[in-house]
Every structure is written in C-alpha cells, then in structure tokens.
Amino acid sequence: MMLEDKFAKLKKIISDAGSCLIAFSGGGDSAFLLKTASLVLPKEKILAVTADSATYPKEELAFASKFARALGVRHKVINTLELKDSRFIANPPERCYFCKRELFSRLKDMARKESLKFVFDASNISDKCDFRPGTKAKNELGARSPLQDAGITKSEIRILSKKLGLNTWDKPALACLASRIPYGTVISK
C-alpha cells in the first residue's frame, strides 16, 4: 500500500472513531498521531494525556505540554504510580505489563468520564518486532493502535511527520528510563 493510502486510512480510522483520548508521551509517534487526530476531529473531541513519573524525563513532559498547546488540543498530565507497585519495581521481564496496565486503566476511566469513545496509543507496525509486554495490558483494556491498524511503520511516521512540518520528525526514540535497568535489578526513584 502506498504511503498516501496508509495516511488516508489512518485519518479515516480516527475520523470514524469520532472522539479519542491519546496516550501522549510527546515522542515522535504520539506527536504524529495527535497531529493527525487534530486534522480530522474537532479539538473538543480529542484529549492528550501524558503520564508524569520518575521513569519519564521532566524535559519530555514540558515538550509534550508545549506541543499539545501549539496544536490547540486539550492536554492533561496524570501522575502514575508504577513505583508503588511491587511487581513493577521487582523489574521482571514483564515489568512493562504492570506499568501499562495501571496507565491504560486510568486512561480508560478518563475517557469514559470525558465521554470520549476510544483510548489510542501510538504503537506502530515496527513495534510488533519488539518484545512489548505492555501490549497485552493495552489489549486487555481495549485501547486501540490506529497507526498499526493503518499499517504505518516508524520510518513512515518520520516521513509523514516531516511532510506535516512537525519538529518531531527526527526526534530520537526515548524508551522509559526503567528500560535501562537490567531485569531483576530493583527499580527505585
């Protein structure tokens, strides 16, 4: 499928959703997803939510807030509690499952309270090649991944982001800070 067709498919998926809460880290993928949503949905039908945690660099939080504000999209920051979960801090290989379970549970509740139909995350086709235990939690809670549904890869996100004039088109990937700690090493603030 041509890239333009994939982008059109993504816009249709988002438009058909009618409203959404986007798990918005401020990274290149979620910035592209938020920008695309802002092109096809009324601003009041979109809510970007960023999780604030010791596992997330503060400068990224500031960037996410500034980016959402520049798009004119509502943005909320929530404090996540993964460092209070003994399963997460024990740092097993499925650590991300516990974090994402807590995050997407909260996002699902927020979407319901805001009368938004879907929770979206910015997973893309390239992510399917990685070990991502958080995907199980996301799926259990009914969150959707429109970039995957449209068949869009990480490199295609960069191309489309550049075409849209997003300053995130070449932003380096930034994994959770906990991912830098070897499995089995206890995680602390």
CA distance 71 to 106: 24
For 49, the enclosing helix (H) or strand (E) is strand 46-52
> What pLDDT sits at residue 189?
87
Query: If you search the block for the tokens 């800070």, which residue do you land on?
Result: 177
**3-state secondary structure (DSSP) of residue 51:** strand
> What pLDDT sits at residue 120?
98
> What pLDDT sits at residue 127?
83
> What pLDDT sits at residue 174?
83
CA 133 to chain centre: 15
For each of the chain's 189 residues, which pLDDT tens digit applies?
A: 799 999 999 999 999 999 999 999 999 999 999 999 999 999 999 999 999 999 988 899 999 999 999 999 999 999 998 999 999 999 999 999 999 999 999 999 999 999 999 999 999 998 887 778 889 999 999 999 999 999 999 999 999 999 999 999 999 888 888 989 999 999 998
> What pLDDT sits at residue 22?
98
> What pLDDT sits at residue 132?
83
> What pLDDT sits at residue 154?
96
For the chain, the domains span: 3-172
The three-point CA angle 70-23-58 to 5° equals 65
CA distance 80 to 107: 11
CA distance 2 to 89: 43
Instruction: Name every residue whose Cβ is closer than 8 Å to that of residue 115 and which is 6 or more positions away in sequence.
Output: 19
* pTM, two decimal places: 0.95
Superfamily of domain 3-172: HUPs (3.40.50.620)
> What pLDDT sits at residue 61?
93
DSSP letters along 54-118, please?
TTS-HHHHHHHHHHHHHHT-EEEEEE--GGG-HHHHT--TTHHHHHHHHHHHHHHHHHHHTT-SE
Query: If you search the block for the tokens 């333009």, which residue do you land on?
Result: 4
CA distance 5 to 11: 10
Residue 8, amino acid: A
